[in-house]
Amino acid sequence: MLEELLIALIVILLGTKLAGHLCQLINVPAVIGELLVGILVGPAVLQLVHPSDMIHVFSQIGVILLMFLAGLESDLDLLKKYLKPSVSVAIMGILLPLVLCGVVGSLFNLSLMSSLFLGIVFSATSVSISVQVLRDYRRLDSQEGSVILGAAVVDDIVVVLLVSIFSTVLNMEGNFSLSPAFFWDLLGKKLLFFVVVYLVAKFAIQPILKFSKRIIATEAETAIALVLCFAFAVMSEMLGMSDVIGAFFMGLMLSRQPAKEQIEKRVVTIGYALFIPVFFVSIGLDIQFSAFKEHGLFILVLSVAAIVSKLVGGYISARTSKIDRHKAWIVGAGMVSRGEMALIIVQMGKTLGLVTGSIYSAIVVAIIIATLVSPLLIKFFVEREQKLSV
């Protein structure tokens, strides 16, 4: 088991760093190379690395650290300033895919419930891929970066609520009841999370960091910051939300502390040396080319619907919020990636029996295609905006 994991890590780390170097030479976002490494070394091509529980654990830690860094690098004042457009972008970015991808499911003879579930799957946004590209272009704390981050958090929460309602109704099998327990699971836990965030930010962060400075141990402050990050990731997961939301908010709370730069520097080293590359590769490991043979047209139509719905939805909402049209396209492109959020939701659908067999594989392929296209779209619109602003 250990030998297999170590070999997988050797392949992943060498592959991603060499791919990142090549991408820099040809002016392509490094994350594209890392995603393609997952396809190349995975079951689809060379079969050097296979999905496993340990790879999944490493990748989950990777995405938690990535979103923790996104929070650390964010400007809280900008996020507050652009809260209204963020909510608008998130809502439009949920409604359009929900309708368009649901219609695609119906056109390809999926049941009503499966089609509705398909819409929910593609309503999700995985901002972790966009975060990496925005970091590369130094746009994470810009107007468009703040809107994308804010919208992604709102999107995450709303989609989790939709999945909660959908799965609850499905499991009740006609015995649906608006009980206190239902509302606690649906809304109460989420509200509790934000109450805890407020209380910790106001009363606990500074005393905890002061305490960490008194500990006579190597990198104690960074270790305590990671403890807080992981604790909030666990808490948000326990309260029915994605662990990345907890990690992001903890990063955001630490972003105004004097120790921010030191913590960020150490976490960048830990994350990008090991865990974050595993996360990007793990997405590519899920692709199966055999799905193209049986469901090629379905994959093509679904991928186009997934990309266009988020891109256009983000653009329209950003424009109605009076954001410059070139930056509005960047916002739309930043919302296209589905990544781990959609993969987690579609896995739930498989467990519930809503998507099975080759259809499940076809949906996974469409998710990965949308994820691969997103960095290229961001690159295109960022570089176009840079040229026009000169």
According to the model, what pLDDT value does residue 214 have? 92
Give the tens place of pLDDT for each residue, 197-244: 999 999 999 999 999 999 999 999 999 999 999 999 999 888 877 788
Question: pTM for this one?
Answer: 0.80
Q: Quick check: 174 pLDDT over 60? A: no
Closest CA to 127 of 376, 343, 371, 377: 371
According to the model, what pLDDT value does residue 91 have? 92
If you average pLDDT over residues 68-89, what whole number do you get? Answer: 86
Q: Quick check: 154 pLDDT over 70? A: yes
**Range in 60-64, 102-106, 177-181, 257-261 with the lowest mean pLDDT:** 177-181
* Per-residue exposure over 212-240, b if at least 16 CB sit within 10 Å of its own CB, e if not: beeeeeeeebbebbbebbbebbebbeebb
The three-state secondary structure class of 297 is helix
From residue 155, alpha-carbon distances to 13, 50, 205 in Å are 31, 31, 27
Q: Quick check: 67 pLDDT over 90? A: no
Q: Which residue has the higher pLDDT, 219 or 168?
A: 219
According to the model, what pLDDT value does residue 362 have? 87
Tokens of residue 166, six digits? 């959908």
Give the tens place of pLDDT for each residue, 306-359: 999 999 999 999 999 889 899 999 999 999 988 767 877 787 777 677 777 778
Q: Quick check: 246 pLDDT over 60? A: yes
Domains of the chain, start order? 1-389 (1.20.1530.20)
Give the tens place of pLDDT for each residue, 18-55: 999 998 888 777 888 888 899 899 988 899 999 999 99
Mean pLDDT over all residues of the chain? 87
